[in-house]
Amino acid sequence: MLRWALIQAADNTTLRDLTRNSRIARQVVDRYIAGESTADGLAAARSLADAGIDLTLDHVGEFIAHLDQAQAAADVYRELLDRIGDDGLPAGVSVKPTQLGLLLDREVCTNLLADLAKRAHAADVHVTLDMEDHTVTESTVELVEEAHAAGFTNVGCAVQSALHRTAEDVRRLTRAGASLRLCKGAYAEPSHLAYQRKPDVDRSYLEAARYLVAEGVEPRFATHDHRIVAAIKREAALLGRDRSTYEFQMLYGIRTDMQEALVADGYRLRVYLPFGEEWFAYFMRRLAERPANMIFFARALTGALTSP
């Protein structure tokens, strides 16, 4: 129940303002967010790249209200793609379709994505469409299919094992030739569309992972669960899948010990690195996944509420 409450609190503007204004709360935020500017994000990316870690850069923001916000987000990604190419960063980019105006004007979103995909292809950069809540799942899958049909084979997307439909989406997108990021999901979805119990979400994840190890196009396994990581390693070894053909993905600031161990053992690792001013919704979903930080964060907010 607490996890769902935190996820739903991602839209709470009062809590957002309290977090922004609390020095102690921002210490927690800074663990998960690599700063608010593009320069901050690129600086963090370079530091991780020097440690042998690949990256996917995410300019946070979603469910925009005006199309000029979509153009502004696209401009940030254009700058990122230029810098990735110029600096030789081992990085891709992750984009939320609603940040490009999916719910405001589908044609604008499609055109912006096509432009970014073209620029990314020229720089040999992979583009991942983040999977948002269930209201845009089908549209996101369609955007990937359309991109591949147009020749942009460097476009893939995330899929969430929490959703009932994901097993079919994994097969559908694999048939299209898309590289997929398999994650568990971080949205409060209704029970008729998504599994509500962690064991069911984990079971769904492992089933999809087994399929992707066997059939996937450069699958990307996003998890911090050491048991799931071990299961994927075993499955890949049994099938003789080379380590260079798949990767693990983890979030910036989470399980850095495990990240270092994977790199040391010769596995591909990619860190999902978020930055930008609209970080609050992303931060709340990360907090919901890390119960150990909830008490510290609550104390920080209590201090903000009681301070003169």
Looking at 181, 220, 285, 286, which residue is catalytic? 181
The answer to the question of residue 13 being in a domain is no
pLDDT of residue 298: 57
Active site residue 30: no
Q: Please, are residues 258 and 267 in contact by the beta-carbon 8 Å criterion?
A: no
The answer to the question of residue 71 being in a domain is yes
- Spacing of C-alpha 276 from chain mean position: 14
Q: Following DSSP, what letter does each residue of 178-226 receive, concatenated?
A: --EEEE---S---TTTB--SHHHHHHHHHHHHHHHHHH-SS-EEE---H
Q: Is 14 exposed, middle or buried (0-12, 13-18, 19+ CB in 10 A)?
A: exposed
The answer to the question of residue 98 being in a domain is yes
pTM: 0.88
The answer to the question of residue 6 being in a domain is no
The answer to the question of residue 231 being in a domain is yes
pLDDT of residue 293: 54
pLDDT of residue 24: 65
CA distance between the termini of the chain: 32
The answer to the question of residue 186 being in a domain is yes
Domain membership of residue 158 as a residue range: 34-278
The answer to the question of residue 308 being in a domain is no
Looking at 54, 58, 130, 202, which residue is catalytic? 130
Active site residue 257: no
The answer to the question of residue 8 being in a domain is no
Q: Please, are residues 188 and 159 in contact by the beta-carbon 8 Å criterion?
A: no
Reading the block at residue 83, the tokens are 């810098």
Domain count within the chain:
1
**At 111, which CATH number?**
3.20.20.220
pLDDT in tens, 17-75: 666 666 666 777 788 899 999 999 999 999 999 988 999 999 999 899 999 999 999 99
How are beta strands 269-275 and 247-251 bridged, if at all? Answer: parallel
| Average pLDDT, consecutive stretches of 10 residues, N- to C-terminus, the chain (308 residues) | 49 61 70 90 94 93 93 97 93 97 97 97 96 97 97 97 98 98 92 96 98 98 96 98 97 91 94 90 72 54 49
